[in-house]
Each structure stands twice: as structure tokens, then as C-alpha cells.
Structure 1
Amino acid sequence: MNMTLQVHSPYDGALVAELDLDSGAVLEEKLGRAQKAQTDWRRVPVAERVERVALAMEWFRDHADEVARDVTLQMGKPLAQSTGEVRGVLERAQFTLDVAPDVLAPEILPAKEGFRRRIEHTPLGLVLDIAAWNYPLLIPTNVIFPALLAGNAVLLKHSARTPLCGQHFERAFEAAGMGSLVTHLLLDHAGTTALMGDARVGHVAFTGSVDAGRRIHRAVAERFIDVGLELGGNDPAYVAADADLEATVAGVVDGACYNAGQSCCAVERVYVHADVYDEFVDRARVLMEAYRTGDPLDPATTLGPLADAGSLEGLAHQIEEACGRGASVVTGGGAVDGRFFEATLLAGCPNECEVMQEESFGPLLPVLRVESDDEALAHVNDTHFGLTASIWTADPERAEWFAAGHDAGTLFQNRCDYLDPALPWTGMRDSGKGSTLSHHGFHHLTRRKAIHFRDAPG
């Protein structure tokens, strides 16, 4: 008897899907087909790979409404945001198609008499992508498209909360005539762990929690293959005295509350210069009180439910702990109507409190007043994460100073919570390792092969 996976809406608990888990002969057949497909695919010229992969984008264009609705039903994101995520898939995929021929081209070394030398970027084989639910389309996109263009096949193990998104990727590439090059797998934790030990898997990409990332890193290390880890974040924002407050507050609040704050690169802590602190808090309160909860399929809803019911207790604990250390709730502060949590603004949060040190994964915006740029940077650097950070200032030199003084994967000026496909997406410390996006994302999914040929004598 097959084990099944049930998916329920976080909004009303309705059953969205019930699917059989893969195991035994069914799983082995899928792996065998994927391996054979990759063996053939790696010999296809890059230019032809680009043409074939582009056909899958047409499927997403044609099925955009269906895909967006399924995202919302499974994890609760407001429909407008799900629709925007489908657009993001197309934008990022198009970037990979545009740059693949140049990025994957062999590097021809300077001429050396009697020798032919080059460096090739060769595929790793089967790439296992363990994708998260919070951006269930964009997260796999960052791996699937460059992996395929580089000559790999992808085994997509999607989150148990969003398996229909995995099915959509599989169907898109089937429609493009690339069956078995993207294989959606429904696995439990034991099945996923076992698959990481399969010799046919040449790379693992994981997006999720820090603790799970550590377990995966240890498991993969036994086989000496590489792993890409996109883990947690506790991303800071510094609002300098010269910031354009209207634009800054709008950007920071959106960075904290978009997708109900369920983002590894959400704004998690804000340091505001004393000269503009009071006005920042007043403006932020107005914007946060404007968020509306409700049916995520309703266009009027701007704040969806939390996908994980357990997050409600965690957010409440962080707020209580911060208030016990002297912070105050300016607006919001609690759960409402099932899995919804109010957009919450906390003022006067000491930097040592949990909400300033750990990931929240909810619509919380904790704020601390600072007296100088130096004080702000000291607080920004007080972290064991390293995904993104933002500074909001009109001064380019101040922004460069800030970027030079803080180590994180991405440093922003006057924006946040955004991935540019031309730039590498990477973290450090507990935020993970490896890169997706940009040309570095391609290289992370390939192996360097040195070609060192000597001409025959005579």
C-alpha cells in the first residue's frame, strides 16, 4: 500500500491534493529514466539546449493562471503575489537562456606551440533540488534552468506543502519534449536522505532551515559531492539620516511583510538614525495598519496566512521576549482568524533580543534607534547570518562604506528583498554556501575539465 501526502490550504484547511509518495520500483524507474535522459542530453549542443528549454517557458506562459492559483491554494500567498512569481520564473529563465552560450563556452587558453589547451564546463549528472515552499516557483527556477542548460538532469523534490508546483515544472518540460530531464519526486524525509546517498546524484541544492542544511551538508560530505545551501537570514536595514523617508518606509515595510514575511531575505531588523526615527515609526505604522487579511484568492487581500501553523507561537514568543526587554508594540502584535498574524511594528528593540538576532519568518518589523552610522554598522554586524543587508541613504559614499564594512551575500542601497538574475545569490555563515543566479550559478552546477592536447610529432 502506497503512503500518501495530503496538502491542505493554510487559509481554510480544505484538502487541496492527495498524492502517492514515490518508493521502491516506481522510484527506481524514475531514477533510471532520468539517468538515461541525462546521458543523451549532455551531448546536445548548448545552442540546441537553449532552444529546447525555451519551449518550457511557453508552457508557463500558457498556464500562468493555473500555476498561480495552485501556489495560493497550497501555501496561502495572495494571488497577485503568486501571479508575480510566475512572471519572475519567466524573467529569470530568460536571463539564463540569454547568457548560457557565453557562460558555458569552453575557455580557450593562449596559444602555446604544439599544444591545444582549453577549460570545459561539464555537467555534474543528476542534480537533486530540494525546494522550499515559500517561493515555490522561483526557488526551483534558480536551479532547474541553469542545471539543464549546463547538460544536467534535475530531480526535483519539492516541499510537502507545495508538491503541485513540482508537478508543474515536470509538465512544462514534458511539453517541451524533455521528459525525464526534470523529474518530480514525492519523498518523505527518509526517502530524501537515502536519495542523497545514491551514486547517481552528482549535486544537491537545498533551500530551507539552518538545522536541515547542516544535516544535508553532513550527509553529502560523505560522498565528496558539492551542495548548494540557501538557508536562513536575519537581514538588517539601516535608515540613515539623509534617507528619502517616503520611499524608504515603503520599501522597508514591503521587505518585511511581503509574502507575510516568509522569506529568507525579508527585512528582519531595522536600525534608524535618531534624526528620522520618530517619523520613520509613524510612517511605518500607517503602512502596516493598511494590510488586509482574508481569502488569499480575493484581490483585496494583501496579507496571507502563515503556511506553518507553528510559526504563530514562535512569532508571539519573539514579541513577548522583546517587550520583556523594553520594546513596545506600535501596531499589530498577535494572531487573528486562524493562521493569520498581524503586521507588527516593534519599537525600541534592544539588539540582543531574539527578534533582532534570529529569523522570524513572519510579518514583524523590529526597530532600534541609533545615534550614528558607526553604531548602526556595529549592530548590523552582530549576527551569525549573512544573506543580505540594505542601507537607505542618498549618499553613494556612505553606501560604499556600509558595503565594505559588512559581510553578506548581497548589499543593497535603497532597495531590499530582491534578486537580480545577473548577480549571484549567495550567503555566508548560517545563511549557507554556494551560488545560484548569474554566471556563477552556472559554474556551481558544472565541473571544470582541463583539455591538454599535444600535437603528434612531425
Structure 2
Amino acid sequence: MSASNPTPSGGPVVEGPHDPEHDPRAAYALEPDYVAALTRRIRATSGESVAVDSPLDGAPLAHIPQSSTADVHDAFARARKAQEAWARTSLDHRAELLIRLHDLVLERQDEIIDLIVLESGKARKHAFDEPLHIALTARYYARTAHQHLDTERKLGVVPGLTRVEVNRVPKGVVGIISPWNYPFTMALCDGLPALLAGNAVVAKPDAQTMLSALLAAQLLEEAGFPADLWQVVAGPGSVVGTEIIGRADYICFTGSTATGKLVAQGCAERLIGCSLELGGKNPILVLRDADLDKAAEGAVRAAFSNAGQLCVSMERMFVADQVYDRFVEKFVARTEAMTLGATLDWGNDMGSLISQAQLDTVVAHVEDAVAKGARVLTGGRARPDLGPYFFEPTVLEGVTPEMTCFGDETFGPVIAIYRFHDEADAVARANAGEYGLNASIYSQDGPRARAMARVIKCGTVNINEAFGATFASIDSPMGGMRQSGMGRRQGAEGIHRYTESQSVATQRGIRFAPMFGMSDQAYARLMTANLKLMKKLGRA
């Protein structure tokens, strides 16, 4: 499929030289002044930079300045100073700025989407999910700020005489290490509740998608957040990431399980908290009573959104014997009808993988499976005619435990499909392995599906949907069980992780010691009688 020219959006994207007779892919570039304005946000003194190319066509996009350890130190110093003032601002003011950000993101969504597509190679409709998610997140936390952060009254030990309140105190400076697969939303979504709670942020986005994260930081400032409150640093995780872990008051990390374990070790050494969203090998279950057309449509999104480069996307599908053949026919037909393209326009169903390394992993998994007896029902090929890192959406049948893709995360447009007869067996197979991030169940019997969800070991379960229902419902927590992580984003847990609970008790009338000449023994008898009375009165 050939790429079409970008529609002017008022954003920064400029079309590069394109000769459709010689190259089926458009070449895109960014205005140098636009890139310079973004990269200036990284206050780097190392003198080093790293080139970033677009997965769409391999064309250069920018040179990203690299931060030294001294630069990270300075970023934390600026952030700490800004946080001291920010923590004294009113909660209503912070919420107002989030609403401004909500409006700004929606107004500038064409610019945001263009940049995401250029950096990540994903289809435009999948890039649209990112400003949408940030707008939802900003609005939710702005509207629920007092619900989550106001001082709460708690039960005192002596009714009427002990007043207890719990305050939510900001941690200080939060370190956020975000991935490349959703470069705009992952750069911002975890940090917005941190800001609302009174913290500052030092962010290290992935090296492959720095520009989207820098645009996010720019929009925060345009919305009215103090300039030094959100610092962006760049560089390899082994250097810059380690430095952040050594200085932050809390770490939020999204990425691989292997790296997440190293992050957790570094946090444990300093006795600071962390939240980790890590890998997955997510299952989708199609039960015998499922609406097969709805299930086939949802399965395409579940497996191939963002070319499968989504932590909550599906790589294992379990289908009831009674509907297996009919479902597979519908699913394969929908998969084969997908449009692929290296373009900024709407209309593509799937875009590119992010890099050669990601393509190599996908190719290796598919080739290994085929060599060991798996059958390719559709797809299975790289597509260099579309772009350097394109791979067809692929459905495998007959995948067995000795194949790499059986249990290892592929993180690409590949899904293995399995039959099941007994639903208890299907749940056991869905729970097999070490991950537990997201699952999906298709059934027309809602109560039955919800009962099944309770025994699936995943942090989120979507019924008659792939992943969007839980991901977009910001009031509900999202995160992984087992090797898929710890902690939660979104909802109350997503903001309380950035606060310390502080209990304040005010005592009146009596003291917790003998009074009026009582002996210690008499005081003990009085307190024992009081405990028995509180039980009779039904007191907690």
C-alpha cells in the first residue's frame, strides 16, 4: 500500500521529497526550528547527541542532546526548588491547570498525532488514542482532586474525645521513566496525578521517542505549570535512569520485566517506593456463546493495535471448540482485510514496528514457531516495500510450549490461537506462565463472564472489549499481577502512590495514662471495661 501525502494541519510536519514512481513511501521531515525549540528543553552539557530516525521511512528526525550525571543532578535541584513553591499552591489552582491542559491537548491534537506517527510509525488512528487518553486523565484528576487529596476524618479511639485526620503529603520529586510504544501518553499520564498531589517530576522518556515527550512538557508549560516543575533528561538508562533512581523520592517505571526488576532493586536499596507496569503475555477467551462478529472485530484490535506493541495487547487466544472454525474464519478474514501503510493520514489499520530490533524479535519468533511445526493462517512476512520495519499481522495455529512465542512476549503483530473444550481448562491455560497484566473475555452472558474474570490472574479484564474499556475508565486502577508489575496507575491508587499518609490526632479531656490518682492496675481495668463496652456498642 502506498503512502499518501499528509494533510496540512497547522502543525510542524513538512513533507519531504517524494517521487511515487520511484519510492512508494513518502519521506517526511520536521522544521529545524521546531525541533530546536523542543530539544532546548533538555538542558544538557555533555556535548553529545543521538540521532533519531522515523520508522516510517528511515529518514532523520532530530539529534537529541544527551544528559550527563551532572545534568541530572541539576535537574533535580531545579525540580526540588520548584516543588517547594508548588506544594504551597491551592489544590483548586492545580486542578484548573489540568483543565487548561485538557483543552490545549484537544486543540493541538493534530500536531501531537503527527509527531507521534513520525516517531513511532504507528497508524494515525492508534496515535489518536494518546491525546484522547491524556485529556481523559487530566479531566478526571482535575474533577476528583478534592475527593482524593482532601484531609479525611477517621475514627478516634475515644468517641468524641479523640479527633483523627489523615493528610496526603506530596512525596517531593517523582522520577518517571517512560517507554516508546505510547510516547505521548506514557510521558504524561503518570505524571499528571503526581503534579496534582503537589510533586515535581524528573522524566526520562525512551531515546527513540523523545520529541513526543518534549512536546508534552512544552504543553504543560503552556497550560500554566511552572517551568522548572517538570524536568526532562535524556540518555541511556544505565546512566541517566540509574541516576534518577538514586535521587528521586518515588519512581514510576513502564517497560520490560527484566528492567523493572533492576528498578525495584535500586528503589529497595534507598527504601523509596515504586510502581512498575511491566511485560505481559495477555490472553483473550472467546466462549461458546460469544457474538462471533463482535469477537472477531475486537480480536483484531486486541492483537494488532499499534502493531501489537502495546503492553495490554493480546498474544494468546483461546476459542471454544463449538465456535472455533467459524470464529477463525471470521478473524482471519478481518485480519487479511487490514490496510497497512507508512503515512500520516487516517485510513490505515496498522503501521510500522518501532525499530530493527523489534522487527528482528518478531521475525525470530515467527520463524522459530514455523520451524517447529506451527501453521501460519495469515501474515508471517516482513514488508520492506511499505517501510523498513513493517511486518504483516500474523495469526499462528499449533503453537506448542517448545516454541519461543508460546510463553515469551513478542510485542509485535503476532497472535497464537488455541482450541479449548472445558472453560475451567481455558482459565487455567490463560493463567499459565509468569505474567498477569490484561485479559479479555467475549461472551453474551455478562454475569458468567464477570465470574470468570474473578479467577483470571490479571490486573485488568475486559469483557466484550480488547483493552479500551479498562484503559479509558480512569476511575478504575490499572496495573499488573505477578511478573507484570506492582502498583497501579489511574483512580485513587494512581494518585495516592505519590503521597505520604500523615495521621494527625488531637486528644481532649483525658490522657492515655492513669488520672485522678488511679493506680496503673485501676487504669488497666478501666481501659479493659472500655474495650468491652465499645464491642457491645458495635464500635469498630
After TM superposition, the score normalised by the length of structure 2 is: 0.81
- Cα separation, partners in 2 of 1:25 and 1:317, compared to 1, 3 Å: closer
Q: 2:119·2:212 contact (CA, 8 Å) conserved in 1?
A: no
Equivalent residue, structure 1, for 2:206: 159
The aligned runs of 1:349-364 (5 Å cut-off) are 349-350=399-400, 353-364=403-414
Return the match for 1:233 from 280, 286, 289. Answer: 280
Return the match for 2:487 from 428, 434, 437. Answer: 434
Q: Aligned-pair distance for 1:352? A: 5.7
Q: 2:279·2:483 contact (CA, 8 Å) conserved in 1?
A: yes
Q: Aligned-pair distance for 1:324? A: 4.0
The aligned runs of 1:280-319 (5 Å cut-off) are 280-319=327-366
Deviations, residues 228-268 of structure 1 (Å, cap 9, x unaligned): 11110100011111100000010011110010000011011
The aligned runs of 1:265-280 (5 Å cut-off) are 265-280=312-327
Deviations, residues 391-420 of structure 1 (Å, cap 9, x unaligned): 111122421331232211012211122202
**Which stretch of the first structure deviates more once superposed, 88-97 or 169-178?**
169-178
Query: Distance in 1 between the 2:69 and 2:325 partners?
Result: 61
Equivalent residue, structure 2, for 1:413: 463
Q: Aligned-pair distance for 1:85? A: 1.7
Deviations, residues 279-311 of structure 1 (Å, cap 9, x unaligned): 111111111112222223133432211102112
Compute the RMSD of aligned alpha carbons.
1.9
Return the match for 1:31 from 76, 82, 88. Answer: 76
After TM superposition, the score normalised by the length of structure 1 is: 0.95
Equivalent residue, structure 2, for 1:46: 91
Corresponding position: 1:401 with 2:451: yes
Name the SS for the 1:180 alignment partner: helix
Equivalent residue, structure 1, for 2:193: 146
Query: Distance in 2 between the 1:96 and 1:389 partners?
Result: 26
Unaligned runs of 5+ in 2: 1-45, 512-540
Equivalent residue, structure 2, for 1:447: 500
Name the SS for the 2:166 alignment partner: strand
Equivalent residue, structure 2, for 1:118: 165
Corresponding position: 1:339 with 2:392: no
Equivalent residue, structure 2, for 1:194: 243
Equivalent residue, structure 2, for 1:20: 65
Query: Distance in 1 between the 2:411 and 2:209 partners?
Result: 17
Percent identity reads 32
- Cα separation, partners in 2 of 1:140 and 1:330, compared to 1, 3 Å: same
Q: Aligned-pair distance for 1:454? A: 2.8
Name the SS for the 1:453 alignment partner: strand
Q: 2:101·2:138 contact (CA, 8 Å) conserved in 1?
A: no
Return the match for 1:97 from 118, 142, 165. Answer: 142
Instruction: Return the index of the structure with the highest Cα Rg.
Output: 2
Name the SS for the 2:189 alignment partner: helix
Aligned-partner residue type, residue 372 of structure 1: D
Query: Distance in 2 between the 1:286 and 1:318 partners?
Result: 23
Query: Distance in 2 between the 1:262 and 1:430 partners?
Result: 18
Q: 1:240·1:391 contact (CA, 8 Å) conserved in 2?
A: yes
Equivalent residue, structure 1, for 2:218: 171
Aligned-partner residue type, residue 50 of structure 2: L
Query: Distance in 2 between the 1:397 and 1:292 partners?
Result: 36
Q: 2:480·2:486 contact (CA, 8 Å) conserved in 1?
A: yes
Aligned-partner residue type, residue 271 of structure 1: F
Return the match for 1:61 from 86, 90, 106. Answer: 106
Deviations, residues 71-91 of structure 1 (Å, cap 9, x unaligned): 111111122321332122111
How many pairs does the alignment contain?
456
Query: Distance in 1 between the 2:69 and 2:152 partners?
Result: 43
Q: 1:345·1:365 contact (CA, 8 Å) conserved in 2?
A: yes
Q: 2:75·2:202 contact (CA, 8 Å) conserved in 1?
A: no
Return the match for 1:365 from 394, 410, 415. Answer: 415
Query: Distance in 1 between the 2:498 and 2:289 partners?
Result: 42
Q: 1:253·1:365 contact (CA, 8 Å) conserved in 2?
A: no
Query: Distance in 1 between the 2:509 and 2:223 partners?
Result: 44
Equivalent residue, structure 2, for 1:74: 119
- Cα separation, partners in 2 of 1:297 and 1:454, compared to 1, 3 Å: same
